[in-house]
């Protein structure tokens, strides 16, 4: 299945950065399926601020596209229906876990054909013949899951709109003003102009116009970067009202008082020149054109003095303006923005870690003076957190790191491009691969010729030191779809299947996962996991930040709870009973009883993954393209 050029103009409405109070996202996927050009458009909204709302939202979008791709029917409509049924289980799980409804509208477009389904209160609108019509009216918006598919046709030039509830109301109430012009850019500009500030930040959706055989436009209205869309209106120049020196004030006052005199003088000179020109033309004969003679005007002494005075006044105006500009520049220098340490001190205690998550920059931190860095550390100490300077750079790769794992002194790394590396004694060794692994998630190294990598589509890849690596491993039906997290302990492999919220174990792994058996099921793992580790027990971090320990298939203890954010990671090994949790930029260190011992803020822009070595004495941290080592 190949990506193709769609037959639709699109306007995506939403935000680049995620909303703080909910998950809301819209996507368009163009595909070729069974000889037909297909487009899957989807808008999802989950009214829950926690990280797991984002996880479920991403799973819904991924499942809708993935299950359509994987379906084996020769009918694209049947494939679409099968993808909806497969996604319903995720919607059900999300509603039960989050205790809020899932609002989703998805459409399959095949040239002029439209097939769509709705769960929750999202809408599908149609602009046709100058009117906006709600195609979801009739009760479909009240369904908690996808229950039926509605089909229809689009005519060339008509708009289809997938929208959450606030956006659908706005589009219906402003249809005439928005579609007063048929141009895509004019429509997106009208949406920006008409949308009420304070409400539009919650607008999420996609507008698609059927335009076969034409140059297609892909536009976006991103509320958090709106300055790029708003036309700039330059004001008329006006002298700024700034405190001036006495000389500058005199100059400015004289300039204003004399300006009318200068204008009258120039007007008089022009008038004299025009009178002389009226009597200074000659006839070209039959051509009938008259051209002016070129001659210098004659001025008397008084006129010359007036011109010299005007020149002096203009020079004085220039001097006055330069004085004002100099004063403005000096004022700006005096009003420098506060540095990173001052901003952190100004942030209330309890919110400083959140501030650093959004604002911290290693470059800005390095620009601080010694005293300012001390102020920064004291402000962090009020949150019971200490800064950690990472100096022990182990390796730097060509591409940012996605996930890491360790085996004794060897580090296995997969970067964001899907390339696997082995790092030995600080040297990065590129593993030969026939293909790179698209969208990698997790990595586990059982041996140097037994490396496993999972990806977003649900595959688990094996790198076994053979020329044909990487190989996709056959999986049981229960775990074949959906993202998975990987861990290993001795020669056993552990797989966390996100869709079923179950941890599976393969004993004595040897190049296949045919013996995977459920170890911890959904009845014990009451919430979805952000990460897990094996230290002889299963240590799990759920999406609410609770760390629990399991042994012999039973809950042993619930140890601690940390503030959890997107990208949280956990690591622990048998030789070191401590538990390390990275969340929201902070590294929390607890003992085996769950007593928090230390909270550290690594001074880097972001940390992608953490892992302990086999001895439990070294913690590896991946940040960007770099991997650091921290001795415990």
Torsion of the alpha carbons at 266, 271, 276 and 280, rounded to the nearest 10: 100
Q: Region 328-355: what's the mean pLDDT?
A: 74
Q: Region 609-624: what's the mean pLDDT?
A: 87
Could you tell me if residue 236 is inside a domain?
no
- Where residue 276 falls among pLDDT bands split at 50, 70, 90? very low
Q: Region 184-195: what's the mean pLDDT?
A: 89
Q: Region 399-415: what's the mean pLDDT?
A: 92
Could you tell me if residue 240 is inside a domain?
no
Q: Are residues 326 and 192 in the same domain?
A: no
Q: What is the mean pLDDT of the chain?
A: 81
CA distance 66 to 82: 11
More confident residue, 23 or 563: 23
Could you tell me if residue 117 is inside a domain?
yes
Instruction: State pTM to two decimals.
Output: 0.50
Residue 486: closest CA among 547, 542, 442: 442
- Where residue 248 falls among pLDDT bands split at 50, 70, 90? very low
CA distances from residue 26 to 13, 70, 445 in whole angstroms, order as listed: 8, 22, 36
pLDDT score of 40? 93
Asked if 25 and 44 touch (Cβ cutoff 8 Å), the reply is: yes
Residue 317: closest CA among 387, 252, 223, 384: 252
Q: Are residues 180 and 268 in the same domain?
A: no
Q: Are residues 601 and 542 in the same domain?
A: yes
Asked if 5 and 38 touch (Cβ cutoff 8 Å), the reply is: no
Q: At residue 107, does pLDDT exceed 90? A: yes
Q: Region 34-51: what's the mean pLDDT?
A: 86
Q: Region 594-618: what's the mean pLDDT?
A: 82
Q: At residue 328, does pLDDT exceed 60? A: no
Q: Are residues 529 and 456 in the same domain?
A: yes
Q: At residue 295, does pLDDT exceed 60? A: no
Q: Are residues 253 and 329 in the same domain?
A: yes
CA distances from residue 256 to 249, 259, 260, 262 in whole angstroms, order as listed: 11, 5, 8, 10
pLDDT score of 403? 95
Asked if 164 and 120 touch (Cβ cutoff 8 Å), the reply is: no
- Where residue 166 falls among pLDDT bands split at 50, 70, 90? very high
Q: Please give the span between the terminal C-alpha atoms of the chain, in angstroms, as a whole number.
A: 49
Beta sheet of 113-119, edge-to-edge order: 23-33, 36-46, 102-110, 113-119, 150-153
Q: Are residues 474 and 379 in the same domain?
A: no
pLDDT score of 266? 53
pLDDT score of 238? 41
Q: Are residues 63 and 154 in the same domain?
A: yes
More confident residue, 349 or 215: 349
pLDDT score of 287? 40
Could you tell me if residue 3 is inside a domain?
no
User: How many CA atoms lie less than 13 Å away from 448 in the CB half-sphere?
Assistant: 12
Q: At residue 138, does pLDDT exceed 70? A: no
Q: Region 326-346: what's the mean pLDDT?
A: 69
CATH number of the domain to which 114 belongs: 3.60.40.10
Q: Are residues 196 and 322 in the same domain?
A: no
Q: Region 223-246: what's the mean pLDDT?
A: 47
Total number of domains in the chain: 4
List, for residues 355-366, the tens digit of each pLDDT value.
Answer: 887 778 888 888
CA distance 310 to 304: 10
Structure tokens belonging to residue 230: 């708003």
Q: Are residues 504 and 611 in the same domain?
A: yes
The least confident of 52-61, 295-304, 428-437 is 295-304
Q: At residue 76, does pLDDT exceed 80? A: yes
pLDDT score of 561? 84
Q: Are residues 470 and 619 in the same domain?
A: yes
pLDDT score of 468? 93
More confident residue, 604 or 230: 604
Q: At residue 205, does pLDDT exceed 90? A: yes
pLDDT score of 524? 86
Q: Domain residues for 407?
A: 387-631
Q: Are residues 126 and 36 in the same domain?
A: yes
Quickly tell me which residue has 């586990």 as its tokens.
Answer: 444
Pairing of strands 218-222, 8-14: parallel
pLDDT score of 250? 42
Quickly tell me which residue has 């500030």 as its tokens.
Answer: 197
- Where residue 603 falls among pLDDT bands split at 50, 70, 90? confident
Q: At residue 567, does pLDDT exceed 80? A: no
């Amino acid at each position: 299945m190949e990506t193709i050029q769609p037959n639709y103009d699109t306007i995506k409405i939403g935000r680049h950065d995620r909303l703080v109070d909910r998950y809301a996202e819209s996507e368009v996927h163009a595909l070729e399926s069974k000889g037909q050009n297909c487009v899957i458009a989807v808008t999802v909204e989950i009214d829950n601020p926690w990280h797991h709302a984002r996880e479920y939202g991403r799973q819904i979008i991924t499942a809708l596209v993935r299950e359509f791709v994987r379906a084996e029917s020769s009918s694209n409509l049947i494939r679409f229906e099968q993808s909806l049924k497969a996604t319903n289980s995720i919607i059900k799980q999300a509603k039960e876990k989050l205790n809020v409804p899932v609002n989703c509208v998805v459409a399959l477009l095949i040239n002029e054909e439209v097939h769509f389904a709705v769960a929750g209160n999202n809408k599908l609108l149609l602009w046709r013949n100058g009117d906006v019509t709600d195609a979801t009216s009739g009760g479909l918006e009240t369904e908690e899951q996808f229950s039926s598919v509605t089909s229809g046709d689009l005519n060339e030039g008509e708009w289809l709109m997938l929208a959450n509830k606030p956006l659908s109301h706005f589009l219906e109430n402003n249809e005439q003003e928005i579609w007063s012009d048929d141009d895509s850019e004019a429509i997106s500009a009208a949406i920006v102009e008409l949308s009420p500030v304070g409400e539009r930040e919650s607008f999420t959706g996609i507008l698609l116009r059927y335009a076969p055989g034409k140059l297609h436009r892909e536009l976006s209205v991103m509320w958090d970067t709106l300055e790029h869309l708003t036309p700039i209106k330059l004001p008329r120049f006006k002298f700024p009202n700034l405190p001036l020196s006495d000389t500058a004030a005199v100059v400015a006052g004289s300039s204003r008082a004399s300006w009318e005199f200068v204008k009258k003088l120039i007007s008089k000179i022009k008038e004299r020149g025009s009178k002389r020109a009226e009597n200074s033309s000659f006839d070209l004969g039959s051509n009938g054109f008259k051209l002016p003679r070129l001659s210098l005007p004659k001025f008397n002494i008084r006129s010359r003095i007036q011109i010299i005075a005007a020149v002096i006044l203009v020079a004085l105006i220039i001097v006055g303006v330069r004085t004002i500009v100099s004063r403005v520049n000096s004022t700006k220098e005096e009003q420098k923005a506060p540095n990173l340490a001052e901003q952190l001190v100004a942030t209330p205690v309890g919110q400083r870690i959140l501030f650093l998550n959004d604002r911290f920059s290693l470059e800005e931190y390095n620009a601080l003076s010694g005293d300012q860095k001390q102020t920064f550390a004291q402000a962090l100490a009020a949150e019971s957190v200490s800064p950690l300077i990472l100096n022990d750079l182990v390796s730097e790769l060509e591409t940012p790191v996605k996930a890491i794992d360790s085996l004794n002194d060897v580090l296995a790394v997969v970067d964001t491009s899907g390339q696997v590396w082995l790092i030995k004694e600080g040297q990065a060794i590129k593993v030969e691969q026939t293909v790179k692994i698209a969208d990698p998630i997790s990595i586990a190294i059982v041996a140097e010729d037994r490396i496993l990598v999972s990806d977003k589509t649900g595959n688990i890849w094996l790198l076994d030191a053979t020329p044909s690596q990487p190989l996709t491993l056959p999986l049981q039906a229960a775990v074949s779809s959906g993202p998975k997290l990987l861990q290993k302990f001795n020669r056993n492999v552990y797989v966390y299947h996100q869709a079923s919220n179950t941890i599976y174990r393969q004993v004595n792994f040897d190049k296949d996962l045919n013996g995977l058996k459920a170890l911890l099921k959904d009845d014990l793992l009451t919430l979805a996991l952000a990460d897990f580790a094996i230290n002889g027990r299963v240590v799990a971090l759920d999406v609410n930040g609770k760390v629990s320990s399991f042994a012999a298939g039973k809950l042993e203890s619930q140890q601690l709870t940390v503030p959890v954010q997107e990208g949280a990671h956990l690591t622990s090994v048998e030789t070191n009973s401590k538990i390390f949790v990275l969340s929201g930029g902070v590294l929390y260190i607890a003992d085996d009883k769950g007593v928090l011992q230390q909270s550290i803020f690594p001074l880097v822009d972001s940390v992608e993954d953490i892992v302990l070595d086999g001895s439990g004495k070294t913690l590896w941290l991946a940040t960007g393209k770099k991997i650091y080592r921290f001795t415990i």
